[in-house]
């Protein structure tokens, strides 16, 4: 908001320079962005916080300065109209929704003259960033900038029935606003109507049908108080922001409604723009009560951190317009001025007193009392450990947005329902993510389009979904890989080292070990986002906590990545909850290992998880590690059969093992594989 210093000083008896005024306002909480030179002198560009709608005017800014300077309190100029004319017209005003409109004032002006406003008024409007239009419009804009009360002028003769009805719009009603746009109203919006239909959107913009022009002879001037939330919702719904809506949605003083109308009529009369009549309607069915708050000076001293004499406190509050209703031994009851709806509690009054007396008077002292050292939460510590562990295997951490647009990857997510954002800023930010995959995929795709390969990213972040039980939020870890990022192993050589299912599964196992979770289980996944046969659900205690696998080729075609795309995602909170709480140190064995290979032949339909579980069922204490080193299929071993080469590492923590001990352990493992997996062994 821009206001000329000359205009502000009209209400503030001070000789302070524009720089001093800017510093004073900034210290009081109204930040002055810059001082601009204009034809009528310096202009202050003031930033007003959303809770201070009372400062969106010259008088509102002057109130702050007068409170600091202990000057006489500024009020709206008395709109004295010399000899108002009598007129044979009537104004009928009916407020049907008193919740959204608590007061409506209408005044009648006859013999309206189409002529420009005075030069001094135009200069002040230009300095404030407004374009002069004509006398009547300039007066309404001038009074709005002076008092903070938006006004609107109707052509009285275009109002059907000569009536004003303030009501909610009917479903499907339309109005062509002054900007020439046909707008559809909803039942939540407040409309200003004549006897037949809407002629203005309350608090936002007037309509073309009752617009004034050069031929208007009779004008109805509107000044009203509308509910701030209603105006904000209407403005946002229609995507229509105006100077009036900007003020109404921040609260306009209902007590100034009539005074602002009188002030506008005074200027219309003085500028020769029309004859102000005695025809007046002031509908005020429900007066907004002033807040009453008990203020304790001792409490103020405690909160502000130093002793302020009681007379100084009461004077500061009186300068701000707070009226004392009675004083007791330890407290004072104050009536909050009508223009300060943001003052709700005692602490708000204390803040006002401290602000006006000066924050610079608060003494600098070191904090006292017992403090405890800040520390991370257990889940925070473990998350940091997991970040380090995943980064150590070659993935780079990224952070993506938790809001995203609906898409195939998001729509096909199997768990829960998508949570839509009611007032989304755009379609790209219309819902909360249920999976980390879309965000990771976008980052990978962006890098691929710029020629950055291989790709290896991970993220730890919140995911959200809705179930029949309500909304759920959890911490997840996910990773995506594509290109030559995998080390050489039994299924890879130097010429074929692209990331695949096994690498992603290995990183999942790394995360599992970091969380001290017993071995996870893997089973075939039916998640349509992944390649059939190259993906698996991750189970913990028989319940699904994640997925790992290769992205479906059809989804890959939607992006710029030509290599296989591998992905994993885990519910980190459930993984951490299942982990061992205490870490037990196990010393390294000083004795040698004995490695034995076995090659059970099993049906191809039997998953490796079943084979592994069968080995672990009879796993002796001396079995240290199990590793798959080869998988063979072919006619040599029979149709629909496969041979798994398992490398078993044996070691004892307290002695050197003998061949007999290892052979005995191997026989138990073979026997259980034959029984549980119908395995066969050569020889």
Question: What is d(CA 55, CA 550) in angstroms, rounded to the nearest whole number?
Answer: 60
Helix (H) or strand (E) holding 102: strand 101-110
Residues 278 and 317 in one domain: no
Residues 567 and 523 in one domain: yes
Asked if 171 and 77 count as a contact pair (C-beta separation under 8 A), the reply is no
The residues pairing with 420 across neighbouring beta strands, listed in sequence order, are 431
Asked if 44 and 32 count as a contact pair (C-beta separation under 8 A), the reply is yes
Residues 547 and 610 in one domain: no
Residues 140 and 189 in one domain: yes
Threshold 0.95, pTM exceeds: no
pLDDT of residue 493: 52
What are the residues whose beta carbons fall under 8 Å from the beta carbon of 288, sequence distance 6 or more?
Answer: 102, 225, 254, 338
Angle, CA 365 vertex, CA 362 and CA 369 arms, to 5°: 120
What are the residues whose beta carbons fall under 8 Å from the beta carbon of 126, sequence distance 6 or more?
Answer: 38, 39, 132
CA atoms in the 13 A half-sphere facing the CB of 54: 21
Residues 640 and 514 in one domain: no
pLDDT in tens, 267-311: 999 999 999 999 999 999 988 888 999 999 999 999 998 999 999
Full residue range of the structural domain in which residue 665 is found: 594-677
Asked if 397 and 514 count as a contact pair (C-beta separation under 8 A), the reply is no
Residues 140 and 211 in one domain: yes
Taking each helix axis from N to C end, the angle separating 58-69 and 18-27, rounded to the nearest 10 degrees, works out to 80
Closest among 176, 174, 143, 162 to 243, alpha carbons compared: 143
Domain of 517, CATH number, reads 3.30.930.10
Q: Which residue has the higher pLDDT, 585 or 64?
A: 64
pLDDT in tens, 88-98: 888 999 999 99
Point out the least confidently predicted range of 118-122, 324-328, 620-624, 654-658: 620-624
Question: What is d(CA 418, CA 386) in angstroms, rounded to the nearest whole number?
Answer: 28
Residues 435 and 555 in one domain: yes
Does residue 353 carry a pLDDT above 70?
yes
Question: What is d(CA 252, CA 149) in angstroms, rounded to the nearest whole number?
Answer: 6
Q: Is 484 exposed, middle or buried (0-12, 13-18, 19+ CB in 10 A)?
A: middle
* Paired tokens of 235: 């403005």
* Paired tokens of 506: 């290995």
- The SS3 of residue 140 is helix
Residues 272 and 386 in one domain: no
251 within some domain: yes
367 within some domain: no
Question: What is d(CA 30, CA 24) in angstroms, rounded to the nearest whole number?
Answer: 9
Domain of 667, CATH number, reads 3.30.70.380
Asked if 679 and 602 count as a contact pair (C-beta separation under 8 A), the reply is yes
Q: Which residue has the higher pLDDT, 80 or 92?
A: 92
Asked if 166 and 172 count as a contact pair (C-beta separation under 8 A), the reply is no
Point out the least confidently predicted range of 207-211, 359-363, 472-476: 359-363
* Paired tokens of 336: 């909050």
Asked if 59 and 147 count as a contact pair (C-beta separation under 8 A), the reply is yes
For the residues 585-613, what does the mean pLDDT come to?
Answer: 88
CA atoms in the 13 A half-sphere facing the CB of 155: 15
644 within some domain: yes
Q: CA 468: distance to chain centroid?
A: 25
Please, which pLDDT band fits residue 582 given cuts at 50, 70 and 90?
A: low
Does residue 560 carry a pLDDT above 90?
no
pLDDT of residue 44: 93
* Paired tokens of 385: 């450990």
DSSP category for residue 256: G
Main-chain dihedrals φ then ψ at residue 283, nearest 5 degrees:
-95, 115
Domain of 274, CATH number, reads 3.50.40.10
DSSP category for residue 680: B
CA atoms in the 13 A half-sphere facing the CB of 380: 4
82 within some domain: no
Where do we find the tokens 């290979």?
597
Question: What is d(CA 141, CA 121) in angstroms, rounded to the nearest whole number?
Answer: 10
Domain of 22, CATH number, reads 3.30.56.10
pLDDT in tens, 187-203: 999 999 999 999 999 99
Question: What is d(CA 452, CA 454) in angstroms, rounded to the nearest whole number?
Answer: 6
Q: Please confirm whether the linkage preceding 218 is cis (ω < 30° from 0).
A: no
Q: How many helices and strands in the chain, by DSSP H and E? A: 19, 31
Residues 535 and 467 in one domain: yes
- The SS3 of residue 258 is helix
Residues 137 and 20 in one domain: no
Percent helix, strand, coil in the chain, to 5, is 30, 30, 40
Angle, CA 530 vertex, CA 529 and CA 536 arms, to 5°: 125
Residues 614 and 516 in one domain: no
Domain boundary among 578, 612, 628: 578
Question: What is d(CA 500, CA 491) in angstroms, rounded to the nearest whole number?
Answer: 10
Q: Which residue has the higher pLDDT, 45 or 487?
A: 45
What are the residues whose beta carbons fall under 8 Å from the beta carbon of 96, sequence distance 6 or more?
Answer: 165, 166, 167, 168
Q: How many residues does the chain have?
A: 683
Mean pLDDT computed over every residue of the chain: 89
Helix (H) or strand (E) holding 458: strand 455-467
- The SS3 of residue 411 is helix
50 within some domain: yes
Percent of the chain whose predicted confidence (pLDDT) is above 70: 96
Question: What is d(CA 145, CA 118) in angstroms, rounded to the nearest whole number?
Answer: 16
Residues 119 and 245 in one domain: yes
Closest among 151, 118, 408 to 273, alpha carbons compared: 118
> What are the E-state strand segments in 314-399?
323-327, 332-335, 396-397
Does residue 488 carry a pLDDT above 60?
no
368 within some domain: no
What are the residues whose beta carbons fall under 8 Å from the beta carbon of 634, sequence distance 6 or more?
Answer: none
Taking the CA atoms of the chain, what radius of gyration do you get in angstroms? 38
Please, which pLDDT band fits residue 464 given cuts at 50, 70 and 90?
A: very high
Question: What is d(CA 191, CA 95) in angstroms, rounded to the nearest whole number?
Answer: 11
Number of domains composing the chain:
5
pLDDT of residue 362: 87
Strands 396-397 and 455-467: parallel
Asked if 476 and 447 count as a contact pair (C-beta separation under 8 A), the reply is no
């Amino acid at each position: 908001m821009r206001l000329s210093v000359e205009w502000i000083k009209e209400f503030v008896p001070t000789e302070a320079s524009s720089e001093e005024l800017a510093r004073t306002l900034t210290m009081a909480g109204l930040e002055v962005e810059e001082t601009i030179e204009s034809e009528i002198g310096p202009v202050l560009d003031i930033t007003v916080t959303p809770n201070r709608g009372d400062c969106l005017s010259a008088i509102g800014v002057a109130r702050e300065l007068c409170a600091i300077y202990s000057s006489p309190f500024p009020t709206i100029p008395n709109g004295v109209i010399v000899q108002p004319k009598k007129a044979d017209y009537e104004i009928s005003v009916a407020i049907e929704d008193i919740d959204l409109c608590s007061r409506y004032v209408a005044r009648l002006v006859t013999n309206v003259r189409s002529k420009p406003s005075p030069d001094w008024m135009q200069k002040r409007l230009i300095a404030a960033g407004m374009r002069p239009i004509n006398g009547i419009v300039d007066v309404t804009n001038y009074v709005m900038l002076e008092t903070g009360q938006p006004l609107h002028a109707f052509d009285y003769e275009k109002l059907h029935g000569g009536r004003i009805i303030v009501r909610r719009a009917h479903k499907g009603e339309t109005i062509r606003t002054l900007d020439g746009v046909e707008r559809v109203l909803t039942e939540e919006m407040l409309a200003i109507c004549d006897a037949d239909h809407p002629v203005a959107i309350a608090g936002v913009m007037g309509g073309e049908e009752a617009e004034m022009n050069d031929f208007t002879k009779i004008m109805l001037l509107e000044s009203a108080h509308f509910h701030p939330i209603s105006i904000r919702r209407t403005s946002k719904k229609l995507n229509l922001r105006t100077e009036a809506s900007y003020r109404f949605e921040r609260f306009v003083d209902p007590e100034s409604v009539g005074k602002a109308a009188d002030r506008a009529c005074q200027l219309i009369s003085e500028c020769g723009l029309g004859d102000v009549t005695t025809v007046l309607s002031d509908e005020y069915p429900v007066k907004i009560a002033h807040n009453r708050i008990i203020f304790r000076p001792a409490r103020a001293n405690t909160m502000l951190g130093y002793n302020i004499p009681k007379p100084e406190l009461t004077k500061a509050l009186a300068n701000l317009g707070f009226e004392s209703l009675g004083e007791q031994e330890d407290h004072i009851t104050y009536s909050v001025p009508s223009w300060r709806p943001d003052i709700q509690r005692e602490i708000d009054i204390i803040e006002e007193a401290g602000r006006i007396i000066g924050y610079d008077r608060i003494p600098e002292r070191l904090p006292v009392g017992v403090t405890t050292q800040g520390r991370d939460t257990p889940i925070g510590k473990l998350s940091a450990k997991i970040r380090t562990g995943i980064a150590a295997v070659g993935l780079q951490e990224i952070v993506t947005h938790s809001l995203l647009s609906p898409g195939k990857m998001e729509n096909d997510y199997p768990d829960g329902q998508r949570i839509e954002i009611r007032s989304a800023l755009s379609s790209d930010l219309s819902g909360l993510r249920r999976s980390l995959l879309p965000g990771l995929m976008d980052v990978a795709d962006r890098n691929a389009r710029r020629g950055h390969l291989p790709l290896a990213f991970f993220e730890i972040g919140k995911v959200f979904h809705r179930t029949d039980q309500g909304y759920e939020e959890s911490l997840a870890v996910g990773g995506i890989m594509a290109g030559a990022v995998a080390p050489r192993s039994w299924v890879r050589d130097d010429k074929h080292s692209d990331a695949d299912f096994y690498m992603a599964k290995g990183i999942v196992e790394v995360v599992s070990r970091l969380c001290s979770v017993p071995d996870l289980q893997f089973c075939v996944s039916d998640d349509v986002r992944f390649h059939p046969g190259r993906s698996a659900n991750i189970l913990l205690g028989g319940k699904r906590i994640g997925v790992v696998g290769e992205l479906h080729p059809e989804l890959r075609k939607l992006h710029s990545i030509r290599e296989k795309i591998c992905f994993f995602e885990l519910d980190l909170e459930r993984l951490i909850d299942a982990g061992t709480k205490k870490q037990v140190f196990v010393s390294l064995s000083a004795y040698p290992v004995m490695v034995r290979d076995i090659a059970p032949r099993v049906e191809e339909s039997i998953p490796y998880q079943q084979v592994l579980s069968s080995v672990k069922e009879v796993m002796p204490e001396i079995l240290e590690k199990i590793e798959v080193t080869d998988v063979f299929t072919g006619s040599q071993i029979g149709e629909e059969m496969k041979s798994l080469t398992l490398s078993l590492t044996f070691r004892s923590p307290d002695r050197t093992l003998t061949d007999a001990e290892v052979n005995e352990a191997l026989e138990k493992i073979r026997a259980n594989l034959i029984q549980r997996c119908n395995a066969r062994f050569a020889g």
